Chain A
Amino acid sequence: MELFKIENCRKSFDGEEILKGISLSVSKGEVVSVIGPSGSGKSTLLRCACMLETMDGGMLSYAGKVAAHEENGRVIYAPHSELKEIRKTFGLVFQNFNLFPHYSVLKNVTEPQIIAGRSKAEAEEKALECLKKLGLQDKANYYPCQLSGGQQQRASIARALALEPKVLFFDEPTSALDPELTGEVLKVIRDLAAMHMTMIIVTHEMNFAREVSDRMIFMEHGVVRAEGTPDELFGSDDERLKAFMGKLGGN
């Protein structure tokens, strides 16, 4: 089943075209990584997918429900109430966590659930379950500023998971972490992959992407330059791709 689909997505900022017609569809249980040099439009693609940016052109749908489509060269988004429902199908893990600093870890994970309609008891139970899954059960009453970067990122993953999204996006989840802390976050994502969580991951961690992905997308200059299984991409003859992978895969 196709959980996420974006077709011919176009986006410009100040007249500069960042996305020049990107298409991507992801099925249930699939893990897709998006790689590419800085400025290639990876993050913009993710932000368009999550509706943090509006597309200039293209179609976007989640689990068959159309969130945006193009009509006479203009993108029409679904009505507010429908978008609200559609937003529940996906979650996003940010590069710099974006935890709420004035809330304890527990409240960070609990409050969004209460807003979604769960009772406080239900939400707390679910929060503790998610925190436990991410090895943070003893940090529930800490504030984000008391945690390491890796712990903060795990807390933000717990926060996203507690809402039980069908698709989870990661926007360079380890780019703000030092190498020592990167490992613990990657491990968590690996575990999620093993549980067949549907994920779309923008990352610079080549070895990780190779190991965890079912499919990889290589983006450059706002287009998909190559797409395939990790083995296909790593075995590609494309000189540009080889150069890019070689540079980043080495470490």
Chain B
Amino acid sequence: MTFDVVFQILMSGMGVTVSIFVLTLLFSIPLGLPVSLARMSKNRVLSAVSGVYISIMRGTPLMLQIIVIYFLPFYGFGINVSAGYRFVAVIIAFSLNYAAYFAEIYRSGIQSVPRGQYEASQMLGYSKTQTFVRIIMPQMFKRVLPAMTNEIITLVKDTSLSFAIATAEMFTMAKQIAAKQASLAPLMVAGVFYYVFNLLVAWVCRKVEKHYDYYKI
């Protein structure tokens, strides 16, 4: 197998990797918000449920979560899943896991907005919802950007964990080729892929941060 062929195979795996990455962000970034709000809720039950959720998601390996979500329908409920479920299970596991991390990042962001912003909003006639949506959330977003960048870069590398259920993403493919050829080269190429991908991610995140430089908090 020439380098060209390896490159091409990995390229096709890269598509799956990017899909996992994009879909996970698409679901986990919004999902983190209600989890975070529930965590901070005055309602003790809600707060406890969210707390347990975050604790489990952060306290157990993501690889284990992927395996459980993939095999649970069959071993738990005797449901025969279709072939397409493999990818769905990966997206569910990643989204649930990352939502927990994002929820905690949001919480830190929301709690770092000064009390005075809430008080000013109240004095100026903003409702609680208006205060949160118009005043607190935009400031939270700016505050959490650096922490989000970190998490997003980790996600790029974490996509490789989906090899646990043999998803046809790049790392799984690189491993297979490497085993077949008894060579490290395919894995090295995969490494370069991840690195370049993350350079791009970091660049985009820096752009977004720069965009919010027009005001200071």
Contact = CB atoms under 8 A, between A and B. Distances in A.
A87 B116 contact: no
Interface of A: 50, 52, 84, 87-88, 91-92, 94, 96, 98-102, 111-112, 115-116, 143-145, 159-160, 163
B125 A94 contact: no
A107 to B, nearest CB: 10
A160 B126 CA distance: 13
Contact of B125 (A87, A98, A99, A100): A87
B159 to A, nearest CB: 33
13 contacts: A50-B123, A52-B122, A87-B122, A88-B125, A100-B135, A101-B139, A101-B215, A102-B138, A102-B217, A143-B216, A145-B215, A159-B124, A160-B124
5 residue pairs, one from A and one from B, having the closest CB atoms:
A98-B120, A112-B124, A98-B116, A145-B216, A143-B215
B214 interface: yes
B119 A102 contact: no
Contacts, number: 54
Contact of A163 (B122, B124, B134): B124
A100 B120 contact: yes
Nearest to A84: B125
A50 B117 CA distance: 15
A112 B142 CA distance: 22
Contact of A102 (B114, B126, B215): B215
A169 to B, nearest CB: 9
Contacts of A98: 114, 116-117, 119-120
A139 to B, nearest CB: 14
B215 A144 contact: yes
B134 A94 contact: no
B111 interface: no
A143 B214 contact: yes
B115 to A, nearest CB: 9
A91 B120 CA distance: 10
A112 to B, nearest CB: 4
Given A111-B134, A143-B215, 7 more contacts: A94-B119, A98-B116, A101-B217, A112-B124, A112-B125, A160-B123, A160-B124
